[in-house]
Amino acid sequence: MTRRGGLLALILAVVAIGVAAVVVVVGLNRSDGDGAAQDPRESAPRSSQDAAQDSPSAPAPVGTPAECPEATVRVADATDLENALDAAKPGDVIGLAAGVYTGNFAASATGTAEQPIMLCGSAESILDGGTTDDGYILHLEDSAHWVLQGFTVRNGQKGVMVDQTTDTLITGLTVTTIGDEAIHLRKFSTDNRVLGNTISDTGLRKPKFGEGVYIGTAESNWCDISNCEPDRSDRNEIAGNTISGTTSENVDIKEGTADGVLRANTFDGSAIVEADSWVDVKGRGWLIDGNTGANSPQDGFQTHEIVDGWGTENVFRDNVAQVNGPGLGFSLKPVRDNVVECSNTASDAGEGLSNEPCTSG
């Protein structure tokens, strides 16, 4: 098999190999600075029936990462890694030897669908930022068609930051001991997949910013990040991840994002101190499907309308909410144009399943 064929086979295998996944999700109305400004340019929301019909269908089962293919570029220390990222080109497989790579690393090369750029290692290949007070441990910017697979990311203010990047797969990483959020897709990053990662121990610098996975940008920061426009980090898939030990939401989906999938994740909210749910959906048209959550300080899953027309048209399906808290399994604010199907369940939730009657789907 050619190297190109081998890479394609690997990417397909990541999606095709089925595994069982369980989920726990936490959500609050945190932002890089929360705001409630309205955006008059947004069209009126559709009905909840339209939202259910138009929401993306469930993707194929979440896959487990395959072993790393044969490296075309082998690295063994931080300088090697920096040089390899700077010189990366389509078809490269950058193989991380076991060891600690101390520093902040960045890449902006672009692969192709046929020849992605891969950075691959084992859990013993550790990118270490050196301090939880400053820096992005790994930063992709203005890039496309990468695969980040198998290695560990630890000890930075932020773990993996993805800006203006498309068609990239983040899979099998261990992201832990992080000052703020662990994985962040931002600045018009679209059509990416975050699959089968293990995320823990975030918010060590500022608990308010300690999300596990963060999609988009808060409205109050649009002028800093997205030219005062909604940060349309759309059509991203977050699936099969295990998230625990976060001080804020396990997953925070910001206003301005649309048409994503949050599916088959496992979350534990035991460490949350700056949020009141596992997952907070402020985006529009998201499918939240087959997740399992446990131990929330208030609710399981929430929606919020921070900007007019956002936080709507989201569909919750086949989720299991073991709340162990005083609130709801599913708290919809606003109620309109969001759908909680009767396939969802909630247990040990002081206020019951939802503040809106469930639908048959």
Do residues 238 and 262 make contact, with C-beta atoms less than 8 angstroms apart?
A: yes
How far is the C-alpha of 356 from the C-alpha of 102, rounded, in Å? Answer: 49
149 domain-assigned: yes
How far, in Å, CA of 263 to CA of 280, rounded? 14
Order across the sheet with 93-96: list the strands.
73-75, 93-96, 117-120, 146-149, 169-171, 193-195, 237-239, 261-263, 287-289, 315-317, 339-340
Range of the domain at 54: 3-354
- Closest to 171 in 3D by CA, of 189, 145, 198, 144: 198
- The CA distance from 310 to 98, in Å, is 44
Q: What is the pLDDT of residue 335?
A: 79
The total of other beta-carbon atoms located within 10 Å of residue 43's CB is 6
Rounded Cα distance between 296 and 329, Å, is 9
Residue 56 in any domain: the answer is yes
Q: The domain spanning residue 285 has which CATH number?
A: 2.160.20
What is the pLDDT, as a whole number, of residue 18?
Answer: 39
Q: What is the DSSP letter of 249?
A: -
pLDDT in tens, 109-163: 999 999 999 999 999 999 999 999 999 999 999 999 999 999 999 999 999 999 9
Residue 176 has a pLDDT of: 98
What is the reported pLDDT for 63? 57
218 within domain boundaries: yes
Q: Kindly state whether residue 359 falls inside one of the protein's structural domains.
A: no
Inside any domain, residue 98: yes
pLDDT at 75: 98
* Strand, coil or helix: 92: coil
For the chain, what is the domain count? Answer: 1
Residue 103 lies in a domain: yes
pLDDT lower than 50: segments of the chain: 1-61
> Is residue 361 in a domain?
no
pLDDT of residue 67: 86
Distance CA 203, CA 209 (A): 6
